[in-house]
Structures are given as structure tokens and as C-alpha cells.
Structure 1
Amino acid sequence: MGLSAVEIGAQLGARVIAVARGAEKLEVARAAGAADLIDSTTGDLRERVKALGGADVVYDPVGGADFMAALRATRPGGRILSIGFASGEVPQVPANLLLVKNLSVTGFYWGGYLAFAPARLTRSLSELIAWHADGRIRPHVSHVLPLERSAEALELLRSRRSTGKVVITT
């Protein structure tokens, strides 16, 4: 999870609604400061978020059906930050929802900065490393495995069994 959206939101004073798959991942989100927890495998995500008052800002690394549910549960004037498609499905954003609800959807691919703004990428990475050194951010590491268990580490990621970073040591 790195410096998770949950921790950032909680530090900024936001009421964070965390959506994750399963109790173990939700516990990580709760420990990071989430006020409300939703298991993505149970119930209607859209209705559950709306029942909590809707969302003003959505941080979405999943895409697919969860992105669409979050889009529909976002309050008028809200913003969605799309950072990935872990579901394997790239959502098609209906422009009518953006217009009617005055929503903004922003894509952010950190690695893309290598092509058009490498100096900005270098500066941001340097700042993150400094924050880590100062203890301002604490990446959540769920597994530390030796190099000879790299295949196991990759399987943890592929099968979505990790709850945070998977570190391989030499």
C-alpha cells in the first residue's frame, strides 16, 4: 500500500471510506485510519458508498466494475483519480455522468513522466525517499522473502494475497 490513500486522506482530515477485498486487507485500511470499511466482495458497492453519504474524492487503482460503481457514488463536483486497472478491465467513462454531476476524472501514470517530464519524476522520487528517511511515510510491507523465493513473491501479487508491498531480499 505504501503511503496509502487511507493514510493521506486521514492526515488531511478526510473521512476515508476504504474498499478492499476481504477482512485482512480491510484491517490494514482500518489501522491506517479508515473511518468506514467496505468489503468489495459483498453487496452493492455503489449503494454502500451512497449510504455513507457518497464520495467527494475517489482514488482508484482497480478499474472495471468497481470504478463504475465509485463513479456513480461520487457526489456532484467530485473527483476521481484513476491510477490503474488491477481488475484487468479498463473502464469506459460515460461523459454524460461527468457533465450531469460536474465530475472530474484524472488519470495518473507515474512511470509516464519518464517520457515527458523526467526531471519532475526524479524530484518527486527524491522527495518520497526523503520522507521515508524522515519517517513521514511508512510503506506497509506485508511480506519479506529471500531472492530464491521470488516466484512465491510474484504469486502473492498475482493472486492478490498480499496486503501491502512484497519485498525481495538478497
Structure 2
Amino acid sequence: MVRWLATLSRYDQQWFCWCSQRSQGFQQQGWIRLLSRTGDGYCYALIAVVLSSSHTESANALALTLAAGFSLEVPLFILIKRWLKRPRPYQTLSITAVIRAHDQFSFPSGHTTAAFLFAGIASSFYPAWTPLWMTWATGIGLSRILLGVHYPGDILAGALLGSTLAFMALQLVG
């Protein structure tokens, strides 16, 4: 693990433990898991199909921009995770996660990256709904901490990466 990530890990572990101690009542609630699952990927596709069903020019541009964004996001976040190999909280701390993640590495959060990528692009096409998109993306990120599979730094990195990729996709397609 690179040096800056080791320093981040120390702070993240402290913040994670602080959050975990104060949120135990939330961790077992089903809606937290449901919120997290909306970040699994199928939900983005479903929303994109519904939004694109209007068959307008902007709906086609939305679909194209989302495709461009996710074609950048998936390989990039996988590459970063495999390069940094940061273990998940339940692998390094004596905690029991509410769920098990799909992969073994933590940094950055793929759910949060995808959520902020989607929210950034959707906000560009449906600006009146920006508060909804951003609240949803933030909720997905926070749910990953509450469920014990990510540190706060993973979420911040995912939000930054997803937002940056949304901007790039909008520039590419726009």
C-alpha cells in the first residue's frame, strides 16, 4: 500500500469506528440495504431506460453520455482497486459487516463512483432534479459506510472520481 494511503487508512479507521459506534441502530434497518442495492447498477439502467423512453434528442444524448461515462468508470475503478489493494473495514477491523461486498478491495467505492457519475450526468440533462440525484448518490455512499464495507475516504474518493468522470463524459459526448 502506498504511503499516503496508509496515512489515510489510519484516519479512516478512526472515522469509521466513530461512525460505526454512533450508527448501530441504522445498520440493521432494511432500507439501508435497499438504498445500497440501488447502487448495484441495474437501477441506473432502469432509470436511464425510463428517462430515455421520451424518445427526445436529449434522451438519446443522455443514454450516449451514460454509456460513455460507464465505459470509462468500470475499468478505471477496477484498475485503481487492484493497484491500491486496500482491504475493507471488516477485513482489518474487528467488526462484522452487515453485508459482504462483491470484491475484496475497498478504495474507491465503486457504488459511490457509479452513483456520482450517474447523478452528475443526469443533473446535466434534468437540472431540476439535481437535489434528488445528489441526495440519492450521497445516500448510496453513506449506506456503504453504515453496512461496514467502506471507509469514509473510500466514499469521498468515489464521489470525486464519479463526478470527474461525469464531467469528462459530458465533455466527450457534448
Q: TM-score range by the shorter chain?
A: under 0.3
TM-score, structure 2 normalization: 0.24
Greater length-normalized contact order (CA 8 Å, ≥ 6 residues apart): 2
Q: Which has the higher strand share?
A: 1
Larger Rg: 1
TM-score, structure 1 normalization: 0.24
